Structure 1
Amino acid sequence: MKHVRVNAKTFRDNSGKYINLPTILIERNDEVQVFKQLHEYQIKYYFKSSSWHEKLIQATGLLLDYMEANQTNYTSAKEFFETFRMALYSGTINECGNDPSRLYWLPKRTATADPLVSALNGFSDWLFNEYGASQLNPWREASTYEQKLKWMALVNKSHRSFLGHLDDSLNMTERAKVVRNVMNNRKPIATFDETKAFPENKINELLFEGFRKTRKGISLSPIDQYNWRDIAITILMHYGGLRHSEVFHLWMDDVYPSPKDPGLAVVRIYHPSEGKAPEDFKDPISGRFITNRESYLQLKYGLLPRNKYPASDKLFAGWKEPMLNDGNDKYINVFWAPQKWGYIFMDVWKMYIKQRRLQGIKDIHPFAFVSFHPKYKGEMMSLRTQRESHAKAVRKIGLTVCKGKGTTEHGHRHSYGQRLANAGIDKYTIRVAMHHKSIESQDVYTTPSISTITSSLSKATDSLESGIKLPMEEELESWFREEF
């Protein structure tokens, strides 16, 4: 079935509000139309994250491609989904490099394929309940072995859940008795991923050489000599532990001097929609100050919170629902590690403000980080633009841009977590500093790298008593002499 992905605005009533979501257009009976059932399913779950909707669209598109390429090769929905799932995990190209289906799919990793299968499971279940359609991946009675595995998984999930103590053990036992006809592959388990943290011995060079600007034959002033915007963003990630996307929810009013120490920067990242709004704008109808940021953005600037734009929009910035430090005003606080970088950030921030003023940036939105490109001057800076700027700075100081080496923007958060762990900070404090809801969430950031473990074991080995010989050492030496 021919199809194309589009962004759609859906109006559900006579108001001016609409739901902006990606969806799929299909060609049926020589007529192009919205994939109605898919769109209904998305509208029902419109509150889900942008990544959830993008994954659903991707999975559905792959399913439609596979259906188009294999119209006569299956007799039931169940059989079709079994072969589709096999194609996802194993690819469609044979050992000779041929693929009569013309799909030419390469095998997908388990971590990539599993979410696609899960997305289609949910959509298929909804179609079954709403329209009586055949389930692609129906439930069946689990074997004894499968029941044990699922029960253990449910118990483990319950223990990790914030409200896990409310789970009913009898209900979990009943749920363990059924499994999907087609189950996800078991993921390979690793203790850690090697070196995701940005190298600490390169951070100063990145900040003040990588983001340094030069013009041939022209001597630049201190304000023009550096990209203070990207230096500020990198400090927030590296020494403040913020996620890359969180930085782009910062407003100009969210940075201010500490009342107790004017040289120290206080930085807060408010919830994109429910966070407390500045008290400088009143509702034209009620005459009261706007209390939340979504209403503030809409009424004063005609904008949405950045996490509510489609993921394909340059204004989009994700929000992973971190644990807030304040439940009333709804914000997370940046905890500097070490604290001296809170003072350095304040100086960098002041230079950035001066740079904005010199560029003539107008007050067209409240967001802190803006584009200086002549064509987009003053507009909200996109994540892609900053990502490219960061990569350019990394290459400038002689490093390769690679997630596995910690040299992407996310490597700075890993560095922050490693720094706290190496300083002996307890895991509960690290949890708060990194705004994790689960205590286990920090493990990926604080687990020691292979090089750290190797170094520790080497030191421990050197400290052992020397001179120890294996009991058979003399026999081994004699054997080697005879053989060689």
Structure 2
Amino acid sequence: MSAVIKVKVDYRSATNVKTMRLPALLTERGILISLLQYQSEMRKSQSWHQMLILAVRLLLNFVDQSCIPFTSPTTLLKAFRHALDNGTIDEDLDDNTKLFWSPRSPNHAQNLINLLTGYTNWLTRQPGHSGVVMNPIREATTLEERLNWCAYHHRQDAKLLNHLTKDSATNANAFVREVSRQQRSSVIVDEVKRFPERHFHTLMDDGFIIASRRRLGTRERTDYKSQAMTILMEYGGVRKSELFHLYLDDIDIDYERMEGVVTIHHPYEGKTRDGTYSDRREYLLKKFRMKPRCDYSKSHSLHAGWKAPAINTEKYFEIQFFPPSKAQEFLLAFRNYLLYQRVEPKGFGHPYAFTNSVGNPETIKNFQRLHRAAIERIGLKRGKYSGTTEHGHRHSYGYRLAAAGFGAVEIQKAMHHKSPDSCQVYIQTTNSELRSKMRDVESLPVKMSKI
């Protein structure tokens, strides 16, 4: 057995002057260079890089241990997809491959296949690709040959597991039906749990307390930072990760209404207020010696994801508070945070709005800890299906818009979705509403036997 190990490397390609920190695969013959080159050309999230590494690693391990004859690409790739969907352990809890894979969800399996499709399609477009040599700089390793072999057999097709043979159209179609995306039961988009609104003010007043100061007065003991961040999620629909890309000067004041005006900019394509720098990536590097937070690895404390929301041509979107009066509540909490609790950055500093106790940018992990403590302090239990996670606040925002009569396109714009279909979960009838309507119908003066 040849082990394929995930490692981190500093990589600089021939087409990129900057060194990049990337996840990589170490085989028995060295680093898989083509995979690094592919990653360096794709401007993707950290989650994408991690999933790609997983997909390629699974394929290489399967090829190495499955003992499938290499003369049959159809059999190999069909078996790989079957192993993803069903696992490799038989009814006797034995596994001839010694992989001991558990079944993966259909969506997860399909995502892995799609990532492999993108990578192997890219391989076929590289100069000198012949189906045998993947890296023209040196002789291909055994595992590299196998990846190229897979790429070669779908050179003319956009799907990794479709049309891999040159048999008759009948045989090809039969193969597609066997191996392509499996037929699944229809899934109704179920309601997503939102934060229980009746507890929100209790959370604000009694939950967000600085534990070491709980005996002091209101001003000293209230955690204004967590209050402001939670209001942005509950009444502005902000995603948790987006909070950590906010600069201090992204938050302004409408003095006529005395409301907070908040804009969230793209982490690296967004512009800075003074216009001196071409974008935020250059601004962070030259002024603070930092990278955009989405560029740090997921294990780094500064990492914050970016879900690619719909933004305008200036690379930002403005938060729409609903009800609009909540913009004043946010401004009050944020003002108190600035006046009484914000610790100013030291050294090179940083531009971020929310800081921790020593002045560094606040982290997702620490905010999750503070939010969990506040939830438990008021007697609730943190959980996705209770609506008491941080993301439950965003769902509250969506439901609130739907209940107020806003349409799908309006909710799409307010929540910065790229598609109006994304907000269907907020405007559909919930299970409790459906049961309530059924009870109302039952109570009508109509004989149920005629219904």
2:434 matched residue in structure 1: 453
Q: Which residue of 1 aligns with 2:283?
A: 296
Whether 1:343 and 2:324 are equivalent positions in the alignment is no
Q: Which consecutive aligned stretches of 4+ in structure 1 deviate over 6 angstroms post-superposition?
A: 141-144
- Larger displacement relative to structure 2 (69-78 or 453-462): 69-78
Q: Which amino acid aligns with 1:199?
A: P
1:103 aligns with 2:99: yes
> Shift of residue 333 of structure 1?
0.8
Measured at CA, do residues 187 and 354 of structure 1 come closer, stay the same or move farther in structure 2, by a change above 3 Å?
A: farther
- Displacement of 1:222 in angstroms is 2.5
TM-score, length basis structure 1: 0.78
Give yes or no for the alignment of 1:203 onto 2:200.
yes
Q: How does 1:27-426 map to 2 (within 5 A)?
A: 27-28=28-29, 33-45=30-42, 47-71=43-67, 75-130=71-126, 131=129, 132=131, 133-135=148-150, 137-140=160-163, 182-215=179-212, 219-261=215-257, 263-279=258-274, 289-324=276-311, 326-328=312-314, 330-357=315-342, 359=343, 361-362=345-346, 364-372=349-357, 377-426=358-407
Amino acid at match of 1:182: V
Distance 1:433 1:179, change over 3 A: same
Q: Is the 8 A contact 1:413 1:445 kept in 2?
A: no
2:161 and 2:180 in contact (8 A); partners too: no
Pick closer, same or farther for the CA change 1:471–1:238 going to 2, 3 Å.
closer
Any gaps of 5 or more consecutive residues in structure 1?
A: 148-176, 280-287, 473-484
How many corresponding residue pairs? 418
Where structure 2 has 5 or more consecutive residues not aligned to the other structure, the ranges are 132-147, 152-159
Deviations 1:226-252 (A, max 9, x none): 222222111111110011111111111
1:258–1:266: 8 Å Cα contact kept in structure 2? yes
Q: Tell which deviates more after alignment, 453-462 or 428-437.
A: 453-462
Does the Cα contact within 8 Å between 1:210 and 1:396 map onto a contact in 2?
A: yes
Change (3 A) 1:13 1:355: farther
Contact 1:308–1:316, Cα closer than 8 Å, also in 2: yes
Note the C-alpha offset of 1:444.
2.5
> Identity of aligned pairs, percent?
34
Question: Which region of structure 1 is more displaced relative to structure 2, 448-457 or 83-92?
Answer: 448-457
CA spacing shift, 1:366–1:197, aligned 2, 3 Å? same
Does the C-alpha gap of structure 1 residues 2 and 469 become closer, same or farther in structure 2, counting only changes over 3 Å? closer
Q: Which moved more, 1:8-17 or 1:252-261?
A: 8-17
Matched residues in 2 for 1:471 and 1:322: separation? 50
The CA deviation at 1:54 is 1.6
Q: Which moved more, 1:110-119 or 1:64-73?
A: 64-73
Measure the CA separation in 2 of the matches of 1:121 and 1:12: 22
Deviation at 1:461, TM superposition (A): 3.6
Distance 2:150 2:64 in 1: 19
Shift of 1:335: 0.8
For residues 7-48 of structure 1, the C-alpha deviation after alignment (integer angstroms, 9 at most, x for no partner) is 3322236986223322212222xxxx2112222222232x13
Deviation at residue 458 of structure 1 after TM alignment: 2.2
Specify whether residues 188 and 271 from structure 1 end up closer, same or farther in structure 2 by C-alpha distance, changes over 3 A only: same
Matched residue of 1:320: which SS? coil
Distance 2:373 2:123 in 1: 47
- Per-residue CA deviation, residues 129-165 of structure 1 (Å, 9 max, x unaligned), is 4432323645329989x99xxxxxxxxxxxxxxxxxx
Alignment CA distance shift 1:20-1:447 (3 Å): farther
Q: Distance in 1 between matches of 2:448 and 2:421?
A: 42
Distance in 1 separating the partners of 2:265 and 2:367? 21
- The one-letter amino acid of 1:389's match is L
1-structure distance, mates of 2:52, 2:231: 35
The corresponding residue for 1:151 is none
The one-letter amino acid paired with 1:241 is G
Q: State the distance in 2 between where 1:234 and 1:143 align.
A: 57
- Please tell me the residue identity of whatever aligns with 1:351: N
Q: In 2, distance between residues paired with 1:471 and 1:335?
A: 48
Counterparts in 2 of 1:207 and 1:302: CA distance versus 1, 3 Å = same
Summarize the Cα distance change of 1:201–1:469 in structure 2 as closer, same or farther, 3 Å threshold. closer
